[in-house]
Amino acid sequence: EIDKFADVADARGVGLVAPEGIGSSFHAPHCCGPALNEKIDDVSFIDGIVAALVAEGLAEPHSISVSGFSNGGFMASHLVDPASKSRTQWAAVATAAGHEYGLTRADPLPVSIHHCRNDAMVNTVAAAHAALRRPVSSSGEDVAEHSESLLDLLLRHPSRHV
């Protein structure tokens, strides 16, 4: 699957790094596999890759984004959370079929979250409920009424991209 991303990255002149975790898993707080069970320090692993790319002049330190699918999505969103203690200054995060929802960032960050309707590991509706447990805007204002209407839309149209 990464070949699809590699083709687009090459066509646009964008660098793409695709680390693979232990047993094809990463140690994110809520998901899954051998890396979580063995408490692998994947934050340091990924920070080390980024630091090496920056040191070699292959990446700009303030333009690095992170993305992931399923358990990789959990890892990607964990990396941008200050609680992860990542040393990388992430510019954006995009996740598919997996995301940590208890993020503690105080500063704004571009985020794209996509859930797959038929994902065997991550339930779309359950993920939406988790995301809406404590909805607040970047200014700390409660946005529950807007979030509930989003949840209603997801429940009525679970296959629709929102």
Instruction: State the CB neighbour count (10 A cutoff) for residue 21.
Output: 20
Looking at residues 17-21, what average pLDDT do you find? 90
Q: What is the pLDDT of residues 78-101, one digit of tens each?
A: 999 999 999 999 999 988 878 887
Q: Which two tokens stand for residue 1?
A: 């699957």
Residue 158 has pLDDT above 50, yes or no: no
pTM above the 0.95 mark? no
Higher pLDDT, 152 or 27: 27
Q: Which two tokens stand for residue 5?
A: 């991303």
**DSSP states along 108-135:** ---EEEE--TT-SSS-HHHHHHHHTSS-
